[in-house]
Amino acid sequence: MKKKTKVIVTGGTGYIGSHTVVELLQQDYEVAIIDNLCNSGKEALKWIEKITGILPVFTQGDLRDVNSCRVFFERHRDAEAVIHFAALKAVGESVQKPLEYYENNISSTLLLLDNMIKYEIPKIIFSSSATVYGKYETLPLTEQSPVFFPATSPYGITKQISEHIIKDAIGAEQSLQAGISLRYFNPVGAHSSGLLGELPQGIPNNLMPFITQTAAGIREKLMVFGDDYDTPDGTAIRDYIHIEDLALAHAVALGRLVDQNYRDPFEVFNLGTGRGSSVMEVIQSFEKTSGLKLNYVITNRRAGDAACFYADAEMAQIELGWKAKYKLDDMTTSAWRWEQYYREKILNNKK
């Protein structure tokens, strides 16, 4: 029997990480997770097992902890690749806590690469972000769009710097063969089973969980930040991508690395739908698919918010054979199904 390809997933119990682990297990990869649980919970492992029938190998550990990191990589030195999700990820919070973001996101990447070199794990997929483009000039954003440094937030800057670090390390270290940086736009939604989804701690930073928590009565009202943008309905436009599309893209990119089908040692791909949806369009989609009326109010714009932001994802389709298939209604439907499941089943069982 052919041995399964092992992949290390850092931050594998988080929102994007856990969905990617599900996809990897379903594609018959062996997965080893390391996560410090600062933005997630161990319960995600149960949800992954419920969907796939497999409980992934899990280590609670911090990539910045030299000793625990060394022990983990010693145990999993037979891994073929790493998918690196582990990071603090809230744009607004990064403005309030810049040093925490710089220390956490960059230090963890440095120590990760150090262990990959030491234990000769040759390939890496980096969880990047469209925020690396900074103050862009034209839309849609392609992989050839200028990356303006510094980005508009410390979070975005950590993604810019980490991309450079990984690229430089691949160019300089013989044991690091190749890497792919995936620049996400706006991940939303939940697994189609309804058993796994986004679970933000505290007040959500993103639109979709704020919508579902408002519908569930957790939040009194949804704040729509500005309706005077230069867009068709006045609200800000973003490129929302379904979490299952995003998870699949990681598995496809991993296959490209494992099969050595890459064109360059370090490649970059945008992951989006190529179409923007306004805040009001998202609200209207949710109201249509849920049959509920949302309590929302229009308030002032947030400082630094762009009017419009969406991807050109053609390169991913050409090179990876990947294209987002889920529509906005699929995203709102799955997000609400997960919110209901979580409130009705999981929380009730904890009481």
Does the annotation count 229 as an active-site position? no
Predicted pLDDT at 1: 54
Predicted pLDDT at 293: 97
Predicted pLDDT at 350: 60
Predicted pLDDT at 200: 87
pLDDT digits (tens, 9 = 90+) for 23-72: 999 999 999 999 999 999 999 999 999 999 999 999 999 999 999 999 99
Those residues of the chain that have pLDDT short of 50 are 351
**What does the alpha-carbon distance between residue 134 and residue 157 come to, in Å, rounded to a whole number?**
9
Predicted pLDDT at 351: 46
Q: Which of 101, 133, 155, 229 is catalytic?
A: 155
Nearest Cα to Cα of residue 203 among 92, 82, 66: 92
Predicted pLDDT at 202: 82
Domains delineated in the chain: 6-188+241-271 (3.40.50.720)
Question: Which residue matches tokens 């298939």?
Answer: 325
Predicted pLDDT at 193: 95
What is this structure's pTM? 0.97
